[in-house]
Amino acid sequence: MLQNYFKIAWRNLIKRQSYSVINIAGLSLGMAACLLIGLFVRDEQQYDKFVPGAENVYRVYQQTKGDVNNIIATVPPTFAVALKQNFPEVEEAVRVMAFKSKQLVEANDKKLYEENGFLVDSNFFELFPLRFRYGSAPRVFSDPKSIVISAAMAEKYFGKEDPVGKKLTLSKDVLRVLGVLENNEKFHLPLNYLISLNTAGIPADMMQSWQWYPFNTYVKLRNGTSAAQLQAKFQSFSKPFMKGEGDINVPYFQPLGQVHLYSSDFKYDMSIRGNITYVKALSVIGIFILLIACFNFVNLATSRSIKRAKEVGVRKAVGAGRKELMVQFVGETIMLAAISMVIAIAATCVLLPSLNRFTEKSMVFDLISNPMVGLTLVALTLIVGILAGFYPALVLSAFRPVKVLKGSAVYETALAGATWLRNGLVVIQFSLSVLLIISAIVIISQVRYMHNKDLGFRKDQVLFPMKGENLQKKYASFKNELIRYPGIASVSIGYGFPGDAFGDGLMTVKENPEIKPTKATLVMVDEDYIKTLGLNLLSGRDFSKDIASDVSAYIINETAVRELGLSSPAKAIGKTLSWPTWRNPDSLKTGPVIGVVKDFHYKSLHEKIEPAVLQIYPQAYSKVAVKITGANIETAIDQISNVWSRYSPDYPIEYNFLDESFGKMYKGEDKLKTLLTLFTAITIFVSCLGLLGLAANAAEQRRKELGVRKVLGATVEGLVVLLSKDFVKLMLISLLLASPIAWYFMNQWLDNFPYRITISWWMFAVAGGLAVVLALLTVSFQTVKAALSNPVKNLKTE
């Protein structure tokens, strides 16, 4: 019996080739897209799964309660000590602090800058048992001058040999490699090298501070502990230490399993951040594509049911029951789904390397080594086959053999006459397509806005890391020599260039004692900072080398003027500003406000502009910004490199353009834009495949009508309009249904951006116009072909 079903299914597949190709192409494409999205979603959900007892591990973060509600990933060093000493529910506590900038690494005659370095507590590997390629966790921090490096870093400096015991210099500090970590661990921290926090030499008073917060802190709770109750207890415990006249930071516990995907809005987060919104969106798109492919099959199968009416009638006449017929027809669909799955698997294997390069991942389609993957694919094939084939099987098996064999209309049954279902599925298909088109237009517009928005400063600068004691001590000479070259307009040295690291603190104005201390970003500059970046000075003056007292003066931005309760930039000039000194937060530096600059985006557009305070502070200078003029940038870079090598011979030069640095801040949105555009195109293509089949079938069913109309004088243009107008109506209905849904969800997405576009009417017009044009182009081939056909031949055909 099954063998007979298979033979009939295969013969039908070969006999109706165009129908089969459309269905297989749609299902294959839908399955391949679903598989690729599934691999991406699965990979995103694997972070930190390897940690034993991960359900009891939490990251401690803090949230500002006050005028501004910021979520801050880092906390004071005292949190870990307080939790371990005062709360028996805490089994383990670990602190992690990232190096804020790249560090120079030297080994085997190689000098390179390395990022993603961390200072960690010595019990780090007890909480996070990462796999070692060389060395072992108990020994790696036994030597005060030890370092643990990643396998990639080990291969870069030591090749394939075991580097344990070998020396490596980190920022001129000689260390001994005692461990090498395996690559590709699904860990939320991008570990490149680790050093023990105990040997970092951080002053004891800073490690006891409740106001200095550069640490990621993790706690492992004992079994049975309520994280919510412990969180409430620790909030009460820490409140007296953290209270102040300004906003208060309140500690919270975040489950380890949520760190990667649920931290996209955290500030100062050092982890590899995903985005649960994007993961969910891609999951929904994958389901959309697969459903559309299934809808195509349902539409085509029901529209072509008349072609198989006599077959059903004969089978029923010789004794076939409805159950057997349904099994046969569903079996045919499952066979189509199986063929499509084989093609989809092949496509996935071919496309996965490209997806890995694009997403910077190492996803593996472990079809053979992982039995669960194979079982999942078999289950998906059966689900798609049954889902797509059940309703057509219900329609076909309902035909009455007597009426069919007599040539009566087969659409007398309620099921066979369900034209509304096909139209409804077409509307759903194109509603989903229009929804994705609108979403893609909005996202592309927002990404373009973020890349092109005026940031309040000139981005065509070059930033250089400033390293070495000689350069820091002779920065004035370094600047003066650079500025002599004709291709260099100006040079600024400081700490806190746009897109880079910043400090912060609480500022107060003596003349407005009723205004509570206001949190602000600290930008440590020299006298050429404003000129080099092209900031707009609204009131007052710039810092001057000729005025010695400027070392105690301040320049603030517009937002700081408002937050300090000052009525205008002009009224801010001369006010007395107090600010904690950078190295000692308990002491205040007081001086006059000498200038106000127009607000500028010193951070990405993901963050709202905050109050900013600019001050001269040579002790913190660590970066160089060079403004290059003229077209010959390569010559200017060569000149800078020559000067650099004389002042900092021990540190190789490494540079990047400021506009490129800002562009990298929106890498997540750029990738979302590309993926959404790609999957929208796939969705539209699959929808159009179904529409092509429906148009062909509609033209075939109405061939006699078309013949009569042509004999009576109908034009080709009139027949094309006749055959196309119903599809256009469905497209317009799709636009009306999709538009409000797209508007709602895109507004929700845009609300995550402090600086955003406004959704305009033209976006819906473009999406609707594109959908209608694509639909017309899809059906035009069949409609024109039908309209041009010979009416005599159509009228002769039974």
Cα–Cα distance for residue pair 553/546, rounded to 1 Å: 13
Cα–Cα distance for residue pair 659/222, rounded to 1 Å: 48
DSSP state, residue 457: S
Question: How far is residue 216 from each of residues 12, 76, 93, 131, measured CA to CA in Å?
Answer: 63, 9, 11, 21
Cα–Cα distance for residue pair 389/425, rounded to 1 Å: 14
Phi and psi, residue 611, nearest 5°: -55, 140
Q: What is the pLDDT of residue 411?
A: 44
The helix (H) or strand (E) run that includes residue 510 is: none
Average pLDDT along the chain: 82
Domain spans in the chain, listed from the N-terminal domain onward: 2-42+276-449+667-796, 54-258, 468-650
Residue bearing tokens 């609204």:
538
Q: Report the residue count for the chain.
A: 798
Q: What is the pLDDT of residue 413?
A: 46
Is the four-CA dihedral 570, 574, 578, 579 of positive or negative sign?
positive
- pLDDT-flagged residues of the chain (< 70): 1-19, 66-68, 243-247, 300-325, 389, 391-421, 461, 463, 465, 468-470, 580-588, 630-631, 693-720, 722-723, 781-798
Question: How far is residue 736 from each of residues 119, 432, 433, 549, 763, measured CA to CA in Å?
Answer: 56, 12, 12, 66, 13
Listed in sequence order, the DSSP H helices in 221-271 are: 227-242
Q: Are 703 and 391 in contact (CB under 8 A)?
A: no
Is the four-CA dihedral 708, 712, 713, 717 of positive or negative sign?
negative
Residue 43 makes CB contacts below 8 A (sequence gap 6+) with 186, 361, 363
Q: What is the pLDDT of residue 245?
A: 46
- The 3-class SS string of 95-136 reads EEEECCCCEEEEECCEEEEECCEEEECCCHHHHCCCCEEECC
Q: Are 165 and 120 in contact (CB under 8 A)?
A: no
Cα–Cα distance for residue pair 698/711, rounded to 1 Å: 20
Residue 729 makes CB contacts below 8 A (sequence gap 6+) with none
Q: How many CB atoms lie within 10 A of CB 743?
A: 15
Listed in sequence order, the DSSP H helices in 648-760 are: 658-664, 667-701, 703-711, 716-750
- The tokens for 385 are 């086959």
Q: Are 578 and 507 in contact (CB under 8 A)?
A: yes
Phi and psi, residue 114, nearest 5°: -120, 140
Pairing mode, if any, of strands 554-557 and 588-597? parallel
Q: How many CB atoms lie within 10 A of CB 432?
A: 26
Question: How far is residue 124 from each of residues 55, 140, 328, 618, measured CA to CA in Å?
Answer: 17, 11, 60, 36
- The tokens for 551 are 């070392």
Q: What is the pLDDT of residue 634?
A: 83
Q: What is the pLDDT of residue 258?
A: 94
Looking at residue 599, its amino acid is D
Q: What is the pLDDT of residue 414?
A: 40
Cα–Cα distance for residue pair 176/191, rounded to 1 Å: 17
DSSP state, residue 727: H
Degrees (nearest 5) of the Cα angle 51, 56, 58?
85
Degrees (nearest 5) of the Cα angle 502, 498, 69?
55
Question: How far is residue 666 from each of residues 443, 446, 499, 604, 756, measured CA to CA in Å?
Answer: 12, 11, 12, 8, 13
Closest CA to 107 of 163, 67, 61, 60: 163
DSSP code per residue over 29-84: HHHHHHHHHHHHHHHHTTTTTTSTTGGGEEEEEEEEESSS--EES-B-THHHHHHH
pTM of the model: 0.83
Q: Are 676 and 436 in contact (CB under 8 A)?
A: yes
Residue 549 makes CB contacts below 8 A (sequence gap 6+) with 591
Cα–Cα distance for residue pair 504/267, rounded to 1 Å: 13
For 462-499, write each residue's pLDDT tens digit: 767 677 666 777 888 888 888 888 888 888 888 888 88
Q: What is the pLDDT of residue 712?
A: 63
Closest CA to 154 of 121, 116, 192: 192
Degrees (nearest 5) of the Cα angle 323, 324, 325?
90
Q: What is the pLDDT of residue 219?
A: 96
Closest CA to 756 of 383, 415, 453: 453
Cα–Cα distance for residue pair 48/127, rounded to 1 Å: 11
Cα–Cα distance for residue pair 515/743, rounded to 1 Å: 41
Residue 642 makes CB contacts below 8 A (sequence gap 6+) with none
DSSP state, residue 165: T
Closest CA to 28 of 340, 264, 329, 302: 340
Q: What is the pLDDT of residue 92?
A: 93
Cα(first)–Cα(last) distance of the chain, in Å?
Answer: 33
Phi and psi, residue 608, nearest 5°: -70, 145
